Amino acid sequence: MSDNKLAVITGGSKGLGKTLAEWLTAQGYDLIITARSADVLAATASELKNDNTTIHTVVGDVSDTGHRDAIAAIVKNYGQLDLLVNNASTLGTLPMPTLADYDLSAFADVFQINVIAPVALVQTLLPYLDNGLVINLSSDAAVGGYAGWGGYGASKAALDLISATLASELDSVSVVSVDPGDMRTDMHQDAFPGEDISDRPLPDATLPFWGWLLGQQREAINGQRYQAQSELWEVAS
């Protein structure tokens, strides 16, 4: 088995997930990347392939128990997971409705993917995360109260609280929440149908932040919430 560090990135086939996968591969990580589209995931894995790292792919939905078990089976072969990035999420119903008009079944589905699945994945992978880091991807919608963003924003606000709580509860695992900021991705375009989002930065605008974050002592960042596109990342003492 490889001596490389191991990272799991959900939603790792495109957008920010793919950018992180490319960057971590360059840092010498072996990766497990997941996505719902087999074709897109396979294409991304092919792009990431090199002689120094191993790329594992798991097709499926993070809200599915079998999908999470398949991830865990690969991690078990390594015996250690250094980094878990809970990046996969859903905007929910499109176009995004007001809370007064939100179908409650669809609302529950948003929480199933954006909140319950990350918790379930932490639970599943916890035996292998000793001294590891969990990164939960948040959003400014978690604190914004923007009209039409209530379903998604509420799920990300819940994930922020879950991140802080896990950070308090877990002895040997560090947990952070990260708002990556607006980015030029398919998901962001879905939120603004028909609008020109070319003024938004590409996901690689966040790379300086990831380099900083993974260079920090785990105990120093544990429980913090960061904005990846802010000018200052250090937490005031």
Which element (helix H / strand E) includes 212?
A: helix 207-213
Tell whether 109 is covered by a domain: yes
Tell whether 14 is covered by a domain: yes
Tell whether 163 is covered by a domain: yes
Residue 98 confidence (pLDDT): 97
What is the value of pTM for the model shown? 0.95
Residue 2 confidence (pLDDT): 81
To the nearest 10 degrees (0 to 180), the angle between helices 150-169 and 117-125 is: 30
Residue 237 confidence (pLDDT): 45
Residue 235 confidence (pLDDT): 67
Residue 107 confidence (pLDDT): 98
Tell whether 237 is covered by a domain: no
Tell whether 232 is covered by a domain: no
| The dihedral sign for the CA sequence 85, 132, 213, 150 | positive
| Cβ neighbour number for residue 65 with a 10 Å cutoff | 10
Supply the CATH number for residue 12's domain: 3.40.50.720
3-state secondary structure of 9: strand
From the first residue on, what is the mean pLDDT of each consecutive set of 10 residues in the chain (237 residues)?
A: 92 96 97 97 96 96 98 98 98 96 98 98 98 97 94 98 98 96 83 84 94 95 96 73
Tell whether 234 is covered by a domain: no
Domain count, the chain: 1
| Domain enclosing residue 178, as ranges | 6-227
* Chain-centre distance for alpha carbon 66: 19
Tell whether 155 is covered by a domain: yes
Residue-wise DSSP of 160-201? HHHHHHHHHH-SS-EEEEEE----SSHHHHHHSTT---TTSP
| Cβ atoms of residues 176 and 213 within 8 Å | yes
Tell whether 235 is covered by a domain: no
